[in-house]
Amino acid sequence: MKRRIGILTSGGDCPGLNAAIRGVARAAYEMFDAEIVGIHDGYRGLIEGDCSEMKRSQFSGILTIGGTILGTSRTPFRDMRKIGDDQVDKVAAMKKTYKAQKLDCLVTLGGNGTHKTANLLAKEGLNVIGLPKTIDNDLYGTDFTFGFHTANDIATGIIDRIHSTAASHGRCMVIEIMGNKAGWLTLYSGVAGGADVILIPEIPYNINKVAEVVKRRAESNKGFTIIAIAEGAMDREEAKLKKKDREAKRAASHFSASAYLAQQLQEAVGVEARSVVPGHIQRGGTPCAYDRILSTEFGVHAAELIRDEIYGVSVALKGNQVHHNLLSEIAGVPKPVPVDHQMIVTAKNIGISFGD
């Protein structure tokens, strides 16, 4: 049995992509006669035919390397059916490259947008398998995505380091964690880092409730406050606005979520509040041990699916078992943090405020 496999990474990079690529390739080489075609810079490479056959040696030594050896780019799903100024029919172009490369299947590593396009291609008749990556952990159908645990370690480390400077100066430190639509990363790192307040998009905060925590701690022997806030967090007044109006308000004020909250607190409490935005540091560097293992397991399962000719699916983790879901059932389905999630209950039971 011979299989010619195309692999691409799309959307934002994250630790574990190379480990997953390696897992697919090495398992495929072990299980059947495989040829691997690397598609450069995500769906752009598939659209433009920018790809090349890879050698076995290219998959050696990449387990611990962050980012992606294939390169990545963002090609929004909403634009896939649109024909722009270049007059390129993107879907037709991707199908043409698939056929020109004589691929038996395509493995796509990515998050929500990547999976929606993967599902589109599956509906167009291509053999597609998705691998779930994102530091936001917001992909439906899997308990965890690879990249999340490494980002959680990094974000927790950042909060740890902020503790000492906050304590030294008696300041309120507002640390902005990545996560525009879902608060998984802020929730987990906030609990692990010992934050006093955790603010996530799923629970719009009451600024008076947050101010109470800051005031109480400022008047105590502690004297400082650590707040972990997701980049997509909003107060209750902002939550009443339509998304485009909320974004326009933020853009006009030039405030990030953390800077906006810091200003609110300085006005409400009079404390010195500082905003910290670690940004892309959270998605860079070598993957942690958990993500190396998870990425490898996901990659190997993808190779098993190719061997068994099971397509139109996305690999997933449920409990301690790696399995797969139909792309048609999970693509584009949001996965916010449930407001009654056990981690939120745990956090509240040790006195962490969510501003509600």
Residue 220 has pLDDT above 90, yes or no: no
Residue 250 has pLDDT above 80, yes or no: no
Instruction: List the domain boundaries for the chain.
Output: 2-146+287-330, 151-283
Choices 3.30.1600.10, 3.30.930.10, 3.30.465.10, 3.40.50.450: CATH for 2-146+287-330: 3.40.50.450
Residue 23 has pLDDT above 90, yes or no: yes
Residue 355 has pLDDT above 80, yes or no: yes
**What per-residue confidence (pLDDT) applies to 196?**
97
**What per-residue confidence (pLDDT) applies to 27?**
98
**What per-residue confidence (pLDDT) applies to 209?**
96
| Overall average pLDDT of the 252-271 stretch | 86
CB 292 within 8 A of CB 64: yes
Residue-wise pLDDT for 141-178, tens only, equals: 999 999 999 999 999 999 999 999 998 888 899 999 99
Choices 3.40.50.460, 3.40.190.10, 1.10.10.10, 1.10.1790.20: CATH for 151-283: 3.40.50.460
**What per-residue confidence (pLDDT) applies to 329?**
97
Residue-wise pLDDT for 69-83, tens only, equals: 999 998 888 888 888
What's the pTM?
Answer: 0.94
Q: Per-residue confidence at 254, pLDDT binned at 50, 70, 90? A: low
Q: Is residue 136 annotated as part of the catalytic site, yes or no?
A: yes
Average per-residue pLDDT in the chain? Answer: 94
CB 257 within 8 A of CB 110: no
**What per-residue confidence (pLDDT) applies to 246?**
80
> Matching CATH topology for 2-146+287-330 and 151-283?
yes
Select which of 41, 104, 136, 153 is catalytic.
136
**What per-residue confidence (pLDDT) applies to 212?**
95
Residue-wise pLDDT for 193-206, tens only, equals: 999 999 999 999 99
Q: What's the 3-state SS for the chain? A: CEEEEEEEECCCCCCCHHHHHHHHHHHHHHHCEEEEEEECCCHHHHHHCCEEECCHHHHCCCCCCCCCCCCCCCCCHHHCCCCCCCCCCHHHHHHHHHHHCCCCEEEEEECHHHHHHHHHHHHCCCCEEEEEECCCCCECCCCCCECHHHHHHHHHHHHHHHHHHHHHHCCEEEEEECCCCCCHHHHHHHHHCCCCEEECCCCCECHHHHHHHHHHHHCCCCCCEEEEEECCCCEHHHHCCCHHHHHHHHHHHCCCHHHHHHHHHHHHHCCCEEEECCHHHHHCCCCCHHHHHHHHHHHHHHHHHHHCCCCCEEEEEECCEEEEEEHHHHCCCECCCCCCCHHHHHHHHCCCECCC
| Overall average pLDDT of the 44-56 stretch | 96
